[in-house]
């Protein structure tokens, strides 16, 4: 995940400007469109298809938020942001929410004055090597050449990891994923390191994925989540609870397909509150009572989104792992909906 320190200072100088954005929810409603900062192209997470429609795991969350706030999942405008400008674009109000595989960190939270209301994907940095290298653990990579993207936190993590384990390596710095992939396949480096989700996506694109292994060590925590401006708590709550609604829907077995049926038959009070059949839950947040139902209808629940975009049924083939529900040994845990 790239770092943007110089932009951080820039953002910090304009903290006061944050006051001007206090009512993001009202702005979005007045505009009738959600401005969602997106990655211009990250396999499985966000990328426009042949028709120019953004698809992917992050894009689906944007659509769900738009559905919750505006009642229509198509009323979202994706603003492609490079990693250099993403936080500034958020701070200056060019986008309402940034769903761009951004790692939540202390300094981004406090120095850049952002809030990460939820973590929608728990990632971590890993290594990929060719099988015939005969390595089964990252700690055996002493003296290896490692392909690494420049200017990213992954670069710093890598240095930390090797130093900590008292082994040496030679970095081969590259600009982006596809270049790393070329270097790695051409044999310029023994190992390729980036976020584990990225490794899986890269490996899936190889002609011979079976000859490459992803080593078991995960050397960093990369909690990726949507970011909003600090100080607009209501808008942060909208993002958090839209996301939570998708998690609860998975927990309760509500899918896009069976939602109408569940709505008609369910007697579970939490489900009825979630779908807006009981209580005034949506109105409490300044939304419609059907908001969370619409969010689920947009792309299905969290599990459905995961499976459709990056899960084992796709070429990327990521297992749920840490991103399984808490009931299945993962970390995805939503506060109760009451």
Partner 1 sequence: MSDSSFVRTQMLPPEVPPLTERGLVRWMRENLFSSVLNTVLTLAGLAFVIYAVAATLPWFLNGVWNAKDIKECREIVLANAGPEATGACWALIRERWHQFLFGFYPADLYWRPVLALGLLLVSLAPLLYYSMRRANLILVGTVSVLTLIALALLAPGAALLVLFAGLFAALTAVAWYAPQKLVWLTLAFPLLAFALLWGGSVWGPIGVAAGFGILALVYSLTKSFLGVVVATGAGVVAAAVWWLMVQTSVTTALHGAIPLGIQAVNSDQFGGFLLAFVIGVTAIGASLPIGILLALGRRSDMMLIKTLCVGFIEFVRGVPLITVLFVATLLLGYFLPPQSNFDLILRVIILVTFFSAAYLAEVIRGGLAALPKGQYEAADALGLDYWQAQRLIIMPQALKVSIPGIVSSFIGLFKDTTLVAFVGLMDPLKGVTTIVRADVAWKGIYWEPYIFVGAIFFAVCFGMSRYSMYLERKLKTDHR
Interface ranges with partner 1 (CB under 8 A): 7, 10, 14, 17, 20-21, 27, 39-44, 46-52, 77, 79-82, 84-85, 88-89, 92-94, 176-178, 181-182, 201-202, 204-207, 314-316
Closest CB 102 distance from partner 1, rounded Å: 15
Closest CB 182 distance from partner 1, rounded Å: 5
Q: Which two tokens stand for residue 293?
A: 């139902």
CB closer to partner 1 out of 38 and 296: 38
Write down the H helix ranges in the chain: 5-13, 24-31, 57-70, 86-91, 106-110, 153-164, 177-186, 196-204, 233-251, 259-265, 269-274, 281-284, 291-299, 302-309
Closest CB 114 distance from partner 1, rounded Å: 16
Backbone angles phi, psi at 75, to 5 degrees: -85, 55
Closest CB 211 distance from partner 1, rounded Å: 14
Task: Say how far apart CA 58 and CA 225 lie, in whole Å.
Answer: 9
- The answer to whether 61 and 299 have CB atoms below 8 angstroms apart is no
CB closer to partner 1 out of 92 and 255: 92
Q: Which two tokens stand for residue 279?
A: 């209580």
CB closer to partner 1 out of 178 and 327: 178
Nearest to 147 by CA among 130, 135, 166, 123: 130
CB closer to partner 1 out of 47 and 247: 47
Q: Which two tokens stand for residue 39?
A: 């990655």
- The answer to whether 179 and 100 have CB atoms below 8 angstroms apart is no
CB closer to partner 1 out of 28 and 239: 28
Write down the H helix ranges in 256-314: 259-265, 269-274, 281-284, 291-299, 302-309
Classify the C-alpha dihedral 74-54-197-8 as positive or negative: negative
Closest CB 112 distance from partner 1, rounded Å: 14
Closest CB 172 distance from partner 1, rounded Å: 16
Angle ∠(231,235,241) on CA atoms, nearest 5: 125
Closest CB 40 distance from partner 1, rounded Å: 6
Closest CB 35 distance from partner 1, rounded Å: 10
CB closer to partner 1 out of 49 and 210: 49
CB closer to partner 1 out of 52 and 143: 52
Given the DSSP bridges, would you call strands 212-214 and 125-130 parallel, antiparallel or unpaired? antiparallel
CB closer to partner 1 out of 201 and 298: 201
Q: Which two tokens stand for residue 333?
A: 């845990």
């Amino acid at each position: 995940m790239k770092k943007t320190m110089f932009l951080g200072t820039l953002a910090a100088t304009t903290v006061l400007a944050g006051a001007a954005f206090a009512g993001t929810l009202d702005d979005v409603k007045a505009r009738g469109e959600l401005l969602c900062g997106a990655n211009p192209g990250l396999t499985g997470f966000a990328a426009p298809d042949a028709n120019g429609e953004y698809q992917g795991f992050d894009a689906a969350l944007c659509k769900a938020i738009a559905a919750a706030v505006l009642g229509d999942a198509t009323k979202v405008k994706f603003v492609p942001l490079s990693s250099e400008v993403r936080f500034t674009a958020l701070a200056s109000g060019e986008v309402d929410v940034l769903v761009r595989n951004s790692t939540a960190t202390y300094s981004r939270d406090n120095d850049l004055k952002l809030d990460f209301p939820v973590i929608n994907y728990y990632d971590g940095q890993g290594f990929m090597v060719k099988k015939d290298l005969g390595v089964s653990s990252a700690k055996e990579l002493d003296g290896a050449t490692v392909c690494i993207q420049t200017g990213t936190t992954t670069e710093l993590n890598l240095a930390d990891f090797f130093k900590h384990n008292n082994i040496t390596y030679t970095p081969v710095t590259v600009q982006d994923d596809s270049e790393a992939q070329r270097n790695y396949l051409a044999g310029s480096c023994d190992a390729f390191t980036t976020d584990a989700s990225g490794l899986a996506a890269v490996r899936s694109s190889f002609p011979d994925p079976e000859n490459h292994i992803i080593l078991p060590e995960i050397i960093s925590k990369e909690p990726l989540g949507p970011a909003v401006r600090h100080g607009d708590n209501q808008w942060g709550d909208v993002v958090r609870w839209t996301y939570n609604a998708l998690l609860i829907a998975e927990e309760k077995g509500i899918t896009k397909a069976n939602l109408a049926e569940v709505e008609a038959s369910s007697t579970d009070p939490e489900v009825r509150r979630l779908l807006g059949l009981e209580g005034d839950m949506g109105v409490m947040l300044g939304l419609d009572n059907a908001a969370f139902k619409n969010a689920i209808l947009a792309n299905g629940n969290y599990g459905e989104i995961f499976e459709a975009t990056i899960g084992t049924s796709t070429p990327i083939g990521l297992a749920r792992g840490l991103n399984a529900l808490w009931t299945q040994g993962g970390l995805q845990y939503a506060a109760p909906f009451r």
